[in-house]
C-alpha cells in the first residue's frame, strides 16, 4: 500500500471485531515497528503482545477504571463544555473520541490483540518508543488492521501492569499500549486542523510560504 494512503488514513480505530489477527500479520506489524529509530539507536524497548483471555480479563477492569478517571478529572471540564455546545467542531470531535474510548473500555476483553510497549526509564523516553508504536499502527493499517494508542494503563496502573505481565522491575515503563483488530468502521482521511492553522516558518506566527488549507491527498 502506498505510504501516503497509510499516513492519511491511519486514525484511532477502537471499534473492532473479535476476529483474531493471524500470526504472520502480527509478525509483520512487529517487524516493521522495530525498524523505528530510538535515542542513540539503543533500542531500549520491549514489546509484549497480549491475546490471552485471562490476561485481558485482568486488564479490562483496570482500563475501565482508568478511562472513568480520565472523564471525571483530566477531561471533565472539556467534556462539560462539549456537551453544552456539541455542534462546535472541536466539541463534536472530543465527544466522538470519548464515545470511542468508552466503547473500547466496555469491550476491552473482545478486542483480539494488545501491544504493551515498554521503554527503559533511564534511557529517557518518549522519542525511543512512540515512533515504534506508531510504526506498528501504520504497518497494521497496511494489513487492514485498525489500532488505537492509549497511555492510561501504564500511567495510572503501572504496578498492576508490571505484576500482570511479569515485568522484572520498575526500570521499565509501560509508555503506551496499542489495541489491534479488524475495524467495524471504514478507513477515511483523518479530520484535522489544516497545516496553515498549526504551522509557521522562522517564527511562531511566521508566513509559511506555501498554501496549506486543504488536505493534499487524495485530491492532489
* Residues ≥6 apart with Cβ < 8 Å to 177: 114, 115, 116, 117, 149, 150, 151, 153, 154
Beta bridge partners of 113: 180
Nearer Cβ to its own copies (74/106): 74
Shortest approach of its own copies to residue 38 CB, angstroms? 9
Which of 77, 84 has the CB closer to its own copies?
Answer: 77
Whichever of 10 and 66 has its CB closer to its own copies, that residue is 10
Nearest-approach distance from CB 108 to its own copies, in angstroms: 16
Instruction: Between 48 and 65, name the residue whose CB sits nearer to its own copies.
Output: 48
Residues composing the chain:
220
Residue with cell 508490571: 162
Find the shortest distance in angstroms from Cβ 155 to its own copies.
Answer: 9
Considering the complex, what minimum distance in angstroms separates the CB of residue 36 from its own copies? 7
Q: Which is nearer to its own copies, 46 or 107 (CB)?
A: 46
> Rounded CA gap, 40 and 61, in Å?
37
Minimum CB–partner distance for residue 9 and its own copies (Å): 8
Using DSSP, state whether 120 is helix, strand or coil.
Answer: strand
The phi and psi torsions of 31 (rounded to 5 degrees) equal: -65, -30
185 dihedral zone (left: phi>0; alpha: psi -120 to 50; beta): beta
Minimum CB separation from its own copies for residue 109, in Å? 14
Q: Cell numbers at residue 25, please?
A: 500479520
Task: Say if residue 11 is exposed, middle or buried (CB neighbours under 10 Å; 0-12, 13-18, 19+).
Answer: middle
Which helix or strand (DSSP H or E) is residue 208 part of? none
Amino acid at each position: 500500500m502506498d505510504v501516503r494512503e497509510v499516513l492519511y488514513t491511519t486514525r484511532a480505530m477502537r471499534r473492532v471485531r473479535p476476529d483474531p489477527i493471524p500470526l504472520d500479520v502480527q509478525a509483520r506489524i512487529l517487524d516493521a515497528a522495530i525498524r523505528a529509530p530510538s535515542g542513540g539507536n539503543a533500542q531500549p524497548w520491549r514489546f509484549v503482545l497480549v491475546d490471552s483471555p485471562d490476561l485481558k480479563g485482568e486488564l479490562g477492569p483496570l482500563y475501565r477504571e482508568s478511562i472513568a478517571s480520565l472523564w471525571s478529572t483530566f477531561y471533565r471540564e472539556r467534556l462539560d463544555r462539549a456537551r453544552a455546545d456539541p455542534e462546535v467542531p472541536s466539541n463534536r470531535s472530543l465527544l466522538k473520541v470519548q464515545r470511542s474510548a468508552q466503547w473500547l473500555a466496555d469491550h476491552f476483553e473482545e478486542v483480539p490483540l494488545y501491544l504493551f510497549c515498554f521503554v527503559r526509564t533511564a534511557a529517557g523516553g518518549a522519542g525511543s518508543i512512540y515512533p515504534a508504536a506508531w510504526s506498528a499502527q501504520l504497518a497494521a493499517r497496511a494489513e487492514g488492521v485498525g489500532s488505537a494508542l492509549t497511555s492510561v494503563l501504564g500511567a495510572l496502573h503501572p504496578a498492576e501492569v508490571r505484576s500482570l505481565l511479569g515485568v522484572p522491575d520498575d526500570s521499565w515503563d509501560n509508555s503506551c499500549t496499542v489495541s489491534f483488530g479488524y475495524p467495524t468502521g471504514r478507513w477515511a482521511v483523518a479530520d484535522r486542523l489544516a497545516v496553515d492553522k498549526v504551522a509557521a516558518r522562522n517564527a511562531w506566527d511566521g508566513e509559511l510560504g506555501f498554501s496549506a488549507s486543504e488536505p493534499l491527498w487524495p485530491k492532489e
